[in-house]
């Protein structure tokens, strides 16, 4: 990762400029070229430095729903269960935690009923109970992780 990659990642954490030519505006800010910046983002995705690049939106404002959930997965089944969740389009991401509930994931569904249906499907698929931790209140926290 070079200086341009670092500056690009730092800048993109604040979003693309909301203008007709966002990549050109970004290139002007970073003293670069739009095509080069798009190539750099793709390279960072390809090598795993970035795991996702895309918009963030409030799914509930468009009628959808999401929840944080967890499973207590026996260690010998962890990779298999992770692959099962990874194959579900409703699972935004999952990750290991050092806790009895060792697999945490976010479910994002087109409707609130989709959450309960997805949880039932995961329980049937894995044979494990899902700990469902729905959001009770929204807090807006700006997060920037300087690179």
DSSP 32: S
Is residue 79 very low, low, confident or very high in pLDDT (cuts 50, 70, 90)? Answer: very high
Q: What is the pTM assigned to this prediction? A: 0.66
CA angle in degrees (0–180, nearest 5) for 68-69-72: 150
pLDDT digits over 20-72, tens only? Answer: 999 999 999 999 999 999 999 999 999 989 888 887 777 788 888 999 999 99
Interval 95-115: pLDDT, tens: 999 999 999 999 999 999 999
DSSP labels for 77-126?
Answer: GHHHHHHHHHT-TTEEEEEE-SSSS-EEEEEEESSHHHHHHHHHHHHHHH
In the chain, the domains with their CATH numbers are: 3-46 (no CATH), 59-133 (3.30.70.3460)
């Amino acid at each position: 990762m070079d200086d341009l990659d670092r500056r690009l990642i730092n800048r993109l954490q604040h979003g693309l400029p909301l203008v007709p030519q966002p990549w050109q505006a970004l290139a002007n800010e970073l003293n670069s070229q739009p095509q080069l910046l798009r190539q750099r983002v793709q390279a960072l995705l390809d090598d795993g430095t970035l795991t996702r690049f895309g918009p963030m939106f409030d799914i509930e404002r468009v009628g959808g729903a999401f929840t944080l959930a967890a499973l207590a997965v026996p260690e010998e089944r962890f990779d298999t269960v992770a692959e099962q969740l990874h194959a579900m389009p409703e699972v935004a991401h999952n990750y290991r935690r050092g806790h009895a509930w060792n697999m945490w994931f976010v479910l994002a569904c087109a409707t609130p009923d989709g959450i309960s249906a997805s949880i039932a499907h995961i329980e049937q698929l894995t044979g494990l109970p899902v700990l469902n931790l729905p959001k009770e209140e929204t807090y807006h926290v700006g997060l920037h992780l300087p690179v």
